[in-house]
Structure 1
Amino acid sequence: MFIIYVSLNYQKLPIDIREKFVLSKDELVQANRLLNEEKSILENVILSTCNRTDVYAVVDQIHTGRYYIKRFLANWFHMDLDQINRWVEIGTKEAAVTHLMRVSTGLESLIVGEPQILGQVKDAFFLARDNQTTGAILDHLFKQAITFSKKMHTDYRVSELAQTSGQVGLHQIKQTLGSVDGKRLAIVGLGEVGDHVLKNASTMGFGQILILNHHDSKAIEQAGQYPEMIDARPWRQLLATLKQSDAVVMATSSKQALLSGDAIANTSALKIIIDLGVPRNVTKAGLPDHVSYYDIDHITGIITENKIEKQQMLNKIADQVPAAVQDFFVWQKQLHVVPVIRQLRESSLNVEKVVYDSLLRKLPDLDAHQRKVISKHMKSIINQMIKGPIKEIKELSVQDGANADLRFFCDIFGLSFDEIISQQRSSKKEKSKQSQDATREVQKVYEK
């Protein structure tokens, strides 16, 4: 069995082509099922977002799996197979696992490091699993990718590093005030920048947001699109509004300063001014010491620092992907030891049952509670005794000469190694038989 991914994404396709390959949630249900019925496809998950449509699959043969996935995409989206061949990105084995780890952590996103993709990966996996198009391999792979990505987003909070002037300004306000709960924010100017600030601030938890614009009608219109905690104030009340506020964002295109530091020197409520205007909306001279002031140069400097820090974080995440990929393949290598572990558990529990039944015959007066306690402790003894051997055989199973170690292990514990191997071969033979016809067909039409 092999893992493969086939991707149609923003890195190779412009939006006018990429938008043709988006699947809705309802379509994903049917698409997963139909893909799962294709020859060579053993397991599959389809991820579809505005920037990518990825197919992750477990296939019995790489060349047949690759062909049938591409043919499925061509049929589903009513495209020629030649077009799909030009546009798709394909990877197998380690490349496929690496791709999923990078996608789920946001390393392959248009906005690098964004966390939303993790939720989309989770949704895609759960939908496929619920519709029974996944199995042991993709179940483990996606669970590992989700766990890995959660850890990366927790350890490196890339998305919290503000990248725009408005975001940085609001972050500085939050840092200065400590908490925005119950605080009053004034936003002056509702052009592109001010509108962006308003959208972000509206979800931060301010007690009240006061908005002002040279044209009062625009402020009133904007306030009407938000909850009651956002209130429009007349332009003539600019100074009075600022004095009543805990924080101010100035974002007008005025050709001259709107107020001086001296004008608000006697206010006690105001703690911070973010001046995003060029020319600056506020002259700093006369500002009281308790009011922090940031102009666009201060904000740009913070953005530059954030970009450097963000890239450093992204590099650290990327550096940890190979270890996550290796962990998956270590798990996969240990799959052949699962029947041995299962047989060991069954054999141990059979011994426990024989001894337990013998004990009950010798102590017939035990009540139900006493029997339950004895049974529980006997199973605990068994589990503790086989815990060490199981751990050791899992480690030996990924080393050279693993079969010899497994045979020796089975001899020690009285297990049938030959029976385990025979069962595995029968299973593989059956799967191989199912794909022989598909292999011969594809060999005739396999693309250049």
Structure 2
Amino acid sequence: MSSKLKIKVLSRNPDEYIRETKRDIHKVPRNYDPSLHPFETPREYVRALNVTKLERVFAKPFVGALDGHKDGLNTLCKHPTSLSHLLSGACDGEIRVWNLAHRQCVSCVQAHDGMVKGLAFHPTGNRFFSCGTDKVIKQWNLNEEGQIDTEARTTILGKTVFQSISHHNAKNIFSTCGEQVDIWDSTRTEPLRTFTWGVDSQHYVKFNPIERDLLASCASDRSIILYDMRGASPLRKVILKLSSNAIAWNPMEAFVFTVANEDYNLYTFDMRKLSVPMNIHMDHVAAVMDVDYSPTGKEFVSGSYDKCLRIFPVNKGHSREIYHTKRMQKVRNVQWTLDNKYILSGSDEMNIRIWKARAHEKMGVLRPREKTALEYGDKLKEKFADHPMVKRITRHRHIPHVVYQSSKEHRIMKDSQRRKETNRRAHSKPGKVPYVPERKKRVIGELE
């Protein structure tokens, strides 16, 4: 009688447990029982502290500059389908197309007699529109290499000066603003529709990227006006204490938008409830000129007359990052690239600057071990984010002396006003000096 004997043999591949670079280092199995590691938390805290310190050491956000314009930058426009192309318009009427990968100008054209006030791409990316102070709207062809035709494809003569232009995300429709907001078809020379609401002029207009029939504009009477192309009249209007300079719609939340205001702040609104802003973003010490959202919708970048850029989380009132250089002057335009990696800024000294969206991020391809180490470091920072030392190192920034002193003065003024209001309330009859939240103070009125 014969019986079969089964034998199990251990088979191990040396490549799985021996390091590639040093063949004498063997992988040792680890027991994750917490009782065997009583000092795990202190050890992880030290690692989190080191990761936070190294981030600040390697925080070098400036990537490069695009130099070539002969006058100050007035508008920037990113390509809807290509990451490497950028449009810029200057105060002397010149439009340039830039290749961001090679950091050089691809082509340029003298488009307008006065300032270029607005640029907008067609959704296909093969043509774009420009408007200027010479009361002209021009349509230009653009090939895949970024070359602009020497002659404009179409020219529309307007009756008033155009201040801004924005294109619909899907249709051959664009809007302009000046004395009124006009809706245009790219194949016609007369506007399809005109919206007015008792204001002298409007200086910025922007289409909603999700609810594509909605658009918003900034007016000279300190108001923000909302429109629906399907209706015959404007939808709603909210008036702030000071005028707003730019609007950016959140690309992930259809009804949320942020405005850059003259009172040094940015306001995030939900268009369904305009009586109170969702959030007030404070840190700038001069008028905020432009704002643009990241593709994720979680952050936005702003440029100001204080010669700085700031990056704000949508749900927080203070910036997480500030970018500045010694030569950069008043920042008029900012754009967040569609790959969520870079920020572009245009300023008065004729330069377009490229910045990293995350100052400490390493550029280029990461090896698997590098990627794992960075992910581990991010988790450690998240775990110890509220520890005083980690928080202090994370928040510390070197800022220009003028900005530092101005911030200190504004802080003293706000504390004084708050203290005065508290004393008045304490020494008055109950209810005579009611408490008004800071967000409600900023909105003067809402009209429908």
Q: Same fold (TM over 0.5)?
A: no
Greater share of residues in helix: 1
Greater share of residues in strand: 2
TM-score (norm 2): 0.22
TM-score (norm 1): 0.22
In terms of Rg, which structure is larger? 1
